[in-house]
Amino acid sequence: MNATSTTTKYARSAERISRRAVSQSLEQIVVITHGKPTTTSVLIAEKFGKRHADVLRAIVNLECSGDFRQRNFASSSYLNEQGKEQPCFTVTRDGFSFLAMGFTGKEAAAWKERFITAFNWQADEINRMYRMHTSPDWQQARIEGLTARRHETDAIKAFVGYAQSQGSRSAGKYYLAITKATNRALFFVSAAVGKDFRQGLSAQQLASVAMAERIVERSLLESMSAQVFYKSAYRTAAERVRQFAALIGQSVPGRTPAMLEGAK
């Protein structure tokens, strides 16, 4: 590989990481709730430098119709720093726009723009996910992935019993440990992922996960057949997944390299 191609490779990797950071920051202020982009009164208060009690009061005192209030401000709750449950509102884009009209100043304007960008980004994500989930390729990859996951789970179940027979007292943790190792190897993830993680993956990524799970299944079965010590068997399976990931390259969940190239 020459210097130019190496530089290009690192530049593309840096861009993928940058795009991931941007999307994560947008996800921190606007999330998808029941299929709609929403934020909370807590986040609005925090970002606009206001007391949450004042934001709650402003929402209650908005001069809007009851129908508008019901559709765009849903009563909710959160845990404060003391672990006590406190009231808040879940707010839609229209609700945010109505509320934020009363926020003035240069810094407030910057945060209005940031929130609107986040709402637009999440709306685009909803549309993208719908198109992706209705694709025959994605549906087929999901079905094949479920089969691969089931076979891997059966192998891990056998491995847990195998590890326990060799003296392991925490063998049950291998279910989660193997899943985490696979996700970290294949994707740019910095924290634990939720149960709907795979719903956000592209067809290509689902196929990669299925292959990784077949690798784990095969590796564990081979190690148990050869009577390999359980810790070594786990390390071998994890290393084989890392080698596979190194061949195909890490990706942003839901975004293949080709999609990122097209978004430039």
Instruction: Check residue 192 and give its pLDDT.
Output: 62
Instruction: Check residue 35 and give its pLDDT.
Output: 85
**Residues 233, 162: Cα–Cα separation, whole Å:** 10
* pTM of the shown model: 0.68
Instruction: Check residue 212 and give its pLDDT.
Output: 97
Instruction: Check residue 189 and give its pLDDT.
Output: 79
Compute and round to an integer the Cα radius of gyration of the chain. 23
Helix-helix angle 230-248:174-186, to 10 degrees:
20
Closest CA to 259 of 201, 177, 212, 213: 201
Per-residue pLDDT tens digits of the chain, which is 264 residues long = 555 554 454 444 444 434 444 444 767 889 888 889 999 999 999 999 999 999 999 999 999 999 999 999 999 999 988 889 999 999 999 999 999 998 999 999 999 999 999 999 999 988 988 999 999 999 999 999 999 999 999 999 999 999 999 999 999 999 999 999 999 999 987 666 777 889 889 999 999 999 999 999 999 999 999 999 999 999 999 999 999 999 999 998 887 554 434 444
Phi and psi, residue 255, nearest 5°: -130, 115
Distances in Å between the alpha carbon of 13 and those of 7, 73, 125, 181, 259? 10, 40, 22, 21, 14
**What does the angle CA 182 – CA 186 – CA 190 come to, to the nearest 5 degrees?**
85
Closest CA to 73 of 57, 63, 60, 54: 60
**Residues 26, 118: Cα–Cα separation, whole Å:** 5
**Residues 77, 100: Cα–Cα separation, whole Å:** 21
Indicate the pairing of strand 85-92 with strand 73-79: antiparallel
Distances in Å between the alpha carbon of 47 and those of 108, 109, 182? 9, 11, 35
